[in-house]
Amino acid sequence: MQLASTYSRALLGIQAPLVHIEVFIGMAKEYFAMVGLPEAAVKESRERVRAAIMNSGFYFPEGNITVNLAPADLPKEGGRFDLGIALGILAASDQIPAQSLRGYECVGELGLTGELRAVRGALTASLGARNAGRSLLVAAGDADEAALVEQSRIYPADHLLSVCAHLRGERMIAPYQRHAAPVVPPTVPDLADVRGQPLARRALEIAASGRHHLLMIGPPGTGKTMLASRLPGILPPMNEAEAIETAAVHSISHEGIKNTQWFMRPFRAPHHTASGVALVGGGSVPRPGEISLAHNGVLFLDELAEFDRRVLDVLREPLETGQITISRAARQADFPARFQLVAAMNPCPQGYDCDLQQHCRCTPQQRQRQQQKLSAPFIDRIDLSIEVVRVGREIFDYDAAPGENTATVRTRVLAAHQRQMARQGKVNSALGQQEINQYCRLKPQDQRLLEQAMERFRLSARAYHRILKVARTLADMSGSHDIETPHLSEALSYRALDRWRGD
């Protein structure tokens, strides 16, 4: 009787819990049993492992083979445990030294010829292995992704034979050294392309400086989508921790990681027919939705009023907490969802500017239904809402001087961001109750002004705090230590949605 064990990593949300693979070979009647809550794809690995071992020149041991995937209450799915199971069988049958498996974790799917194939979530497995102080054996196709984790020890291989030769000490695999991918310039368009719209450009800069949510209301053709698409270009760059966390979400999605762009803030723009599951994530095996794929980036919802109201309401909790929990009958997964919401909508069903009344034939009832598509709790979570008006003839004057470009605005945004980091260690939109009391104090006359606005527009306590956060961002943009009256007054002016609904 022989017993051997090795380590692998499961996939649960963006976490990679440790799986202890134990292999026991007995002398009873020949059979192969796998226990530890394996799903169908894991159970099928016994046939892949058998063929891979035999086609690699090893013998498959006779007798009863029991493979235990611990912990037993953790669901296991996919072919990611193939390599660990194969190495456990080879160690238990004395074809490779069992002690050589110590200090290693292995993740990879085996082909019938023994070829190693890439799996999803190599980045999260690398994080887990590094934190546990062990090296990681992966398929060569996963090496780039796994090596994104600093101070990780990655050993890539393309075949089971290469892994066995390494463990025997016959032909060592060199630790993978990640080569810096060529820097790809951001593909976001330049803000100088936007002509006119000084109010909207100002609101966009405020949103970028404090990472505030923004809603633009205006008729078609006023540049709402053009403005939103230029927001990523003026946002501060992600730090290492943010980039790794964002890449971890993408590594478990069907899209994977782009090695040349993994450090760039994501920009997601789902269609208005998207379902709630498409936005927040789901499935029998929970997968991240659009809000998690936009983590640390921008989620742009164009034609906001065309989204189903129930779909928009599922965003309320993630907007507040920065994470989403997907619960299914067999499992539960947590995904990060700290995204910046930017939305655009028309003021009426026909899309015209109802204040002008020249062309709009919408009835008061139709306009009311348009407003009611957005629930009050959802509106409460939007920091800035502005009206984007029709542009004048300056849009046709191509000889006129263009507006400020992305680089110029980004310089100011970075300066305001650095003030926030130096003062409180986080952006203004992420301030908690105690931090608001500490950093967003108002003078007595300004406090009275805000209270009057609260009563006039019947604003909630949440809206009160969001106005203070925007005022704090405006003070940072002007280099002011304290919030002054102009900062509060301007913050109050960015409540177009409250005025619109109150009409």
Q: 445-456: per-residue pLDDT in tens?
A: 999 999 998 888
β-pairing, 298-301 with 340-345? parallel
In this structure, the answer to whether residues 227 and 132 fall within a common structural domain is no
In this structure, the answer to whether residues 159 and 201 fall within a common structural domain is no
In this structure, the answer to whether residues 251 and 398 fall within a common structural domain is yes
Residue 44 maps to a domain: yes
Residue 232 maps to a domain: yes
Cβ-defined contacts of 178-182 (< 8 Å, 24+): 178/143, 178/144, 178/147, 178/148, 181/259, 181/260, 182/260
Per-residue exposure over 338-367, b if at least 16 CB sit within 10 Å of its own CB, e if not: bbbbbbbbbbbbbbbbbeeeeebebeeeeb
Helix (H, G, I), strand (E, B) or coil at 158: coil
Confirm if 222 and 388 have CB atoms less than 8 A apart.
Answer: yes
| Helices and strands in the chain, H and E counts | 22, 18
Q: What does the pLDDT read at residue 384?
A: 96
Residue 284 tokens read as: 């029998």
The 8-class DSSP code of residue 51 comes to: H
Q: Which residue's entry shows tokens 């109802």?
A: 354
In this structure, the answer to whether residues 32 and 64 fall within a common structural domain is yes
In this structure, the answer to whether residues 46 and 81 fall within a common structural domain is yes
Q: Name every residue whose Cβ is closer than 8 Å to that of residue 226 and which is 6 or more positions away in sequence.
A: 189, 193, 194
Give the model confidence (pLDDT) of 228-277 as tens digits.
Answer: 999 999 999 998 889 999 999 998 888 888 766 778 899 999 999 999 99
What is the DSSP secondary-structure string of 104-128? EEEE-EEPTTSBEE--TTHHHHHHH
Confirm if 491 and 465 have CB atoms less than 8 A apart.
Answer: no
Residue 180 tokens read as: 């810096």
Residue 133 tokens read as: 């102080």
Q: Please compute the mean of the pLDDT values over residues 415-439 and round it to a whole number.
A: 95
| Of 371, 401, 426, the domain-final residue | 426
Q: Which of 241, 239, 335, 331 has the alpha carbon at shortest distance from 281?
A: 335
In this structure, the answer to whether residues 271 and 368 fall within a common structural domain is yes
Bigger pLDDT: 339 vs 503: 339
In this structure, the answer to whether residues 144 and 250 fall within a common structural domain is no
Instruction: Give the span between the Cα atoms of 244 and 242, in whole angstroms.
Output: 6
In this structure, the answer to whether residues 216 and 116 fall within a common structural domain is no
Residue 3 tokens read as: 């017993």
Confirm if 296 and 339 have CB atoms less than 8 A apart.
Answer: yes
pLDDT at residue 1 is higher than 70: no
In this structure, the answer to whether residues 200 and 258 fall within a common structural domain is yes
Give the model confidence (pLDDT) of 296-305 as tens digits.
Answer: 999 999 999 9
Residue 355 maps to a domain: yes
Q: Which residue's entry shows tokens 């470009």?
A: 405
Query: What's the mean per-residue pLDDT of the chain?
Result: 89
pTM of the model: 0.89
pLDDT at residue 397 is higher than 80: no
Residue 178 maps to a domain: no
Range of the domain at 283: 191-426
Helix (H, G, I), strand (E, B) or coil at 242: helix
Residue 268 tokens read as: 């997601």
Bigger pLDDT: 332 vs 99: 99
What is the CATH number for 256? 3.40.50.300
What letter represents residue 212's amino acid? H
Residue 493 maps to a domain: no
Residue 439 maps to a domain: no
Q: What does the pLDDT read at residue 456?
A: 86
Residue 451 tokens read as: 């209270």
Residue 457 tokens read as: 């527009």
What is the CATH number for 22? 3.30.230.10
pLDDT at residue 117 is higher than 50: yes
pLDDT at residue 30 is higher than 60: yes
Residue 272 maps to a domain: yes
In this structure, the answer to whether residues 233 and 367 fall within a common structural domain is yes
Residue 483 maps to a domain: no
- Report how many domains make up the chain: 2
Q: Please compute the mean of the pLDDT values over residues 78-86 and round it to a whole number.
A: 95
pLDDT at residue 428 is higher than 50: yes
